[in-house]
């Protein structure tokens, strides 16, 4: 299951989507909006995506995870829009006969999602400032003195 949504993520439904009598392990990863980023208080996060490409890339990642690990099932849900501190922004569930492949696949998926999926995050801080970020984009280096 691959889904982009503007509704709150239902973690129980994501887990239920991958449960199976064949799975002895179900791993659920929830990425949540934290209250501070690099020492700055967060007011909210805003996520935007190029939805067709994001869905395609998420599907490719799911297929690659299934190729790499013996998964019973896999689900990825990413939230779009404005999210308050504490709300889940992404849910990844992986089920397998044993825990190791489920854990490994879930960790690999979140690492890849943050690197290659065209979903951007606008961090809104309590001081009124905001900044669009994407982990794949390099941060500008400090100016060099000449």
In terms of residue numbers, what domain contains 39? 2-133
- Residue 140 within a domain: no
Q: If you average pLDDT over residues 67-89, what whole number do you get?
A: 98
- Residue 107 within a domain: yes
The values of phi and psi at residue 121, to 5°, are: -120, 130
Please write the tens of the pLDDT for every residue from 120-132: 999 999 999 999 9
Please write the tens of the pLDDT for every residue from 84-97: 999 999 999 999 99
How many domains does the structure of the chain reveal? Answer: 1
Contact predicate 112/61, CB 8 Å:
yes
Q: What angle do CA 86, 83, 26 make, to 5 degrees?
A: 60
- Residue 50 within a domain: yes
Domain containing 67 — which CATH number? 3.90.1170.40
pLDDT-derived band at 146 (thresholds 50, 70, 90) equals very low
Give the tokens for residue 97. 């006969």
Contact predicate 115/135, CB 8 Å:
yes
pTM comes to 0.89
């Amino acid at each position: 299951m691959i889904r982009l949504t503007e509704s709150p993520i239902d973690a129980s439904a994501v887990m239920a989507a991958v449960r199976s009598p064949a799975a002895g392990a179900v791993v659920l990863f929830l990425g949540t909006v934290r209250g501070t980023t690099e020492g700055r208080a967060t007011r909210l996060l805003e996520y935007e995506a190029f939805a067709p490409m994001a869905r395609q890339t998420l599907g490719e990642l799911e297929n690659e995870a299934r190729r790499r690990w013996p998964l019973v099932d896999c689900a990825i849900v990413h939230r779009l829009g404005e999210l308050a501190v504490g709300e889940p922004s992404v849910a990844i569930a992986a089920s397998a006969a044993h825990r190791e492949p489920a854990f490994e696949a879930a960790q690999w998926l979140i690492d890849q999602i943050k690197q290659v999926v065209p979903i951007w995050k606008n961090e809104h801080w309590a001081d009124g400032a905001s900044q669009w970020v994407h982990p794949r984009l390099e941060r500008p280096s400090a100016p060099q003195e000449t």
